[in-house]
Copies of this chain bind each other. A is one copy, B any other.
Amino acid sequence: MYRLFYLLGICLVSITSIAQKPEENLAKLGIQLPAVSAPIANYVNVVRTGNLLFLAGKGPLQKDGTYITGKIPADVSIEKGYEAAKLVAIAHLAVLKKELGDLSKVKRVVKVLGMVNSASDFIDQPKVINGYSDLMVAVFGEKGKHARSAVGMYALPMNIAVEVEVIVEVEN
């Protein structure tokens, strides 16, 4: 009898996790996707080639329309940098939602290049870019796990604290 309940439990967990859409995960996390910001120059937010989407680099755009700016950790703490990277992930999710209509069409987050506006002796870029990676995994589960580089930049546009670009594979 106990075993039966155990098996039923496993089934329910499986069904729940299968049924859990990225949009539902976002809602649980209390995240509302913002409007997609226009590119700041003569380029586009995303290009599809075959089943791959190449997304343009985005920065940590806040709800008030301003960016988190400054070098990490001199101007912006690692913790704030983590939040900044999370904001970049939200910006990319908004681009994906607009492009695909349905985030369930994401087959895999393939490759992330995380660029941190760094002080010269800052060596914890991974702790910052985790803000991006953790959210992608929270939203997409296993499909959100990506290959990644996290590196320190000397200067970024508008002095944004973090910039990330990403390649995403989508369903046929």
| Segment of A16-24, A25-33, A53-61 engaged in the interface with chain B | A53-61
- A152: B residues at CB distance < 8 A: 153-157
Among residues of B, the one whose C-beta sits closest to the C-beta of A142 is: B44
Tell me if A2 is interfacial: C-beta within 8 Å of chain B: no
Which chain A residues (97-130) contact chain B, with CB distance < 8 Å? 108, 110-113, 115-116, 118-127, 129-130
The reply to whether B44 and A146 contact each other, CB–CB distance below 8 Å, is: yes
Q: How large is the interface on A (under 10, 10 to 19, 20 to 34, 35 or more residues)?
A: 35 or more
Q: Which of A39, A41, A167 has the most CB of B within 10 A?
A: A41
Q: How far is the CA of A46 from the CA of B123 in the complex (A)?
A: 23
Q: How far is the CA of A165 from the CA of B149 in the complex (A)?
A: 7
The reply to whether B145 and A43 contact each other, CB–CB distance below 8 Å, is: yes
- A119: B residues at CB distance < 8 A: 155
The reply to whether A56 and B121 contact each other, CB–CB distance below 8 Å, is: no
The reply to whether B111 and A47 contact each other, CB–CB distance below 8 Å, is: yes
